[in-house]
Amino acid sequence: MAFTSLRGASSGLLAVLKKGSRLRRGKPRKPPAPLGTDSAPNTIASLAPLTQVISHYLSQKDVERVKEAYRFADQAHLGQFRASGEPYISHPIAVTEICAGWKLDADSLMAALLHDVIEDQGVPKQELAEKFGADVSEIVDGLSKLDRLEFATKAEQQAESFRKMLLAMARDVRVILIKLADRLHNMRTLGAVSSEKRRRIARETLDIYTPIAHRLGLNALFRELQDLCFQAVYPNRYQVLHKAMMSARGNRREVLGKISDAVRVALPAAGIEAEVSGREKSLYSIYTKMTEQKKSFSEVLDIYGFRVIVHTLPECYLALGTLHQLYRPVPGKFKDYIAIPKINGYQSLHTTLVGPYGTPVEFQFRTRDMDHVAEEGVASHWLYKEDNVTLNDLQKRTHQWLQSLLDIQSQTGDSGEFLEHVKVDLFPDAVYVFTPQGKILSLPRGATPVDFAYTIHTDIGNQAVASKINGEFAPLRTELKSGDAVEIVTSPASRPSAQWLNYVRTGRARSEIRHYLRTVKLEESVAFGQRLLNQAFDQLHLPHPADDDPEWEKLAKSSGAASREEILADIGLGKRLAAVVARRFAPENALLATTAAAFDELSSATNAPILIHGNEGQAVQLAPCCGPLPGDAIVGGIRLGHGLVVHMEECAVAQRQRAREPERWIPVLWDTNTARHLTTRLDVTVVNERGVLGRMAAEITEADSNILHLTMQDDAAANGILHLTVQVDSRKHLAQVIRAIRHVPQVQKIVRVKG
């Protein structure tokens, strides 16, 4: 997450602002002496506070298990110290205390105490499993980084460590809860490390851990991590904003006191028993608002607000109505997150009211259960409290998201790409749209119908051809807005497009599209490469080798390919010449002297041209510049990395390319059985009168064709030129469509675009 400088701040604040992970682990070392002393502090880490907390909700047997894990961790970290000089065991104890605040189970607390023994002290995973059980060892292993493996770069190592942690989290959410507690304590104790390391750890926390905390609904943790990161990256700016907040708190005390007193009188008078408390925006959220909206501190008016906690859901709406009668609401500032919860399970009513002296104040209304979920998210109703527990909506949504991580992993080979997909899914903002059945889906802000389609099902995404938004046809790249009703139009003949990657927003959609393009392109390239190679064998009068011929393995090793399939795919994509590969199977096993000779030999044989069906896929492409149709005279050029591109013989683009590289062109002919629904372009000049477009569309439909795309430009005062992309089956079918269009009296001229 990039930080930007403050803009639009008041001159005094801006002037001052402009002036302005983990701790080291590993081998035991002597503790550094603090400033002003000659020896390390005599600090003793005590388990007593933790034992007191967990005794309230764990059985005595589980408390003893936690103590046993403590004794093991204490022995393992004996002689190891933190950068602050404290015994290292103080860190696992502090992390476990945070987890105990969420009332996690005994296995989680044991894993929190042991979370560094594999990574720092080299304790085998098997030993942990034997002493403390498989669950504890799996959690600790999921928390351990991959320091012992060889990676080309630090970024690659970090990405792979994150992938390991996130996949472990997908299998057991306790992994990430302990990791977040670990990161929170490290952020609280960053003062002992260098400023450069503080900034690096803080940026990593903002990029990865705070979005995960928000996604899991751990809002109290989320806000504290943000403020700690802000303080670590920009300490001067943090101090200036902190002082400004303290000053503003004093200036607004009278106004807030009046509002608080009025609310505490109005609610009981309406028969509503409520708990009213004040709240402040976090410093980081104020800073973000100032930078994004270019506002000064004095212009950020919603720094303070009130939270109203009631007993039942209906009382949330009753309390809202009562305060709307007390103070005037600000139009457009009401949000109902109870009817439509946020993606992380957050539920509350938000409204902004104009208080005394014209001061806008935000109010939040929620029940106590909603408040518990709002602060602690997925940890609020712990999944592992008992067997056969019934999952609430928040836990179901969390499980669906965690399962999506496994789906993305199954289709992503590269750890950096996996992390990129996951980061996309961690956007906090969301839009809420409706399926045709009325179900509400939450998607990242900026999501499109393609994201919607893949959220429903992979096959719907792969076969999407169009979308309807609120009953009207809309392009697949349209950004969805909250409240949109979305319907996807599919076709079995449709396939994902690489262009979709330019505008999809969800990690699942991105990974599914890339997976499809990789696998299908490979399969199609292998099949087409086999066709080209078979043609080369026939031209050289050589027998076709078997798939298990030993020469394939020799050829793969000598050319740097992994397998026979990779060689065929390279032929299909134009990276290898079929004639050169074919000559390797000649009885004398002689290689051609030069690549040019291979091209000459391949191009000299004009018999057995490649037959084009039109639906081969990505290995054979019909050139978009001229849009050849069955019946047109065609030529084929092999483009490196693209396979065979088929042009019309008269295409100017093809003629220029053929003149530059004649050796890359091979004979092609249309097959007798060609694909349907090919596309071509027409420019139609019409008299610009009312209804002309409707009559043209009716005639095109009557001719069994379909308009895929249409734009219009003015030619003269009374004329216009329509640029149409239509679906046809052949050149003969196109002629029928053109004759049908001529039935419209306003049509003056029709031209097929051929280049």
Q: How far apart are CA 653 and CA 108, in angstroms?
A: 65
Does residue 632 have an active-site annotation? no
Q: What is the bridge-based pairing of β-strands 486-490 and 464-469?
A: antiparallel
Q: How far apart are CA 20 and CA 236, in angstroms?
A: 5
The answer to whether 440 and 340 are in contact (CB under 8 A) is yes
Does residue 120 have an active-site annotation? yes
Q: How far apart are CA 529 and CA 525, in angstroms?
A: 6
The answer to whether 725 and 669 are in contact (CB under 8 A) is no
Cα-Cα-Cα-Cα torsion 614, 617, 618, 622, nearest 10 degrees, comes to 20
Q: Considering 86, 119, 362, 632, which one is annotated as catalytic?
A: 119
Q: How far is CA 195 from CA 3, 91, 215, 463, 524, in A?
A: 16, 21, 29, 52, 53
SS3 label, residue 697? helix
Our separate counts of H helices and E strands in the chain read 30, 21
Q: Find, among 565, 489, 574, the residue nearest to 527 by Cα.
A: 565
Q: How far apart are CA 628 and CA 731, in angstroms?
A: 9
SS3 label, residue 728? strand
Residue entry with tokens 């290898």: 576
Q: Find, among 157, 105, 152, 159, the residue nearest to 132 by Cα.
A: 105
Q: How far apart are CA 658 and CA 599, in angstroms?
A: 13
Task: Kindly write down the DSSP assignment for every residue of 519-553, as one continuous string.
Answer: HHHHHHHHHHHHHHHHHHHHHTT-PPPPTT-HHHH
Give me Rg for the CA atoms of the chain. Answer: 34
Q: Provide the CB-side half-sphere exposure for 291 (13 A, CA).
A: 14
Q: How far apart are CA 106 and CA 97, in angstroms?
A: 12
Q: Find, among 684, 571, 683, the residue nearest to 627 by Cα.
A: 683
Question: How far does CA 412 lie from the centroid of its chain?
Answer: 13
Both tokens of residue 564?
Answer: 């026979």
Q: Considering 86, 116, 120, 224, which one is annotated as catalytic?
A: 120
DSSP 30: P
Beta-carbon contacts of 438 under 8 Å, excluding residues fewer than 6 positions away, are: none
Cα-Cα-Cα-Cα torsion 516, 521, 527, 532, nearest 10 degrees, comes to 170
The answer to whether 741 and 699 are in contact (CB under 8 A) is yes
Q: Find, among 117, 116, 133, 123, the residue nearest to 62 by Cα.
A: 133
Q: Count of CB atoms within 10 A of residue 133's CB?
A: 15
Active site residues: 119-120
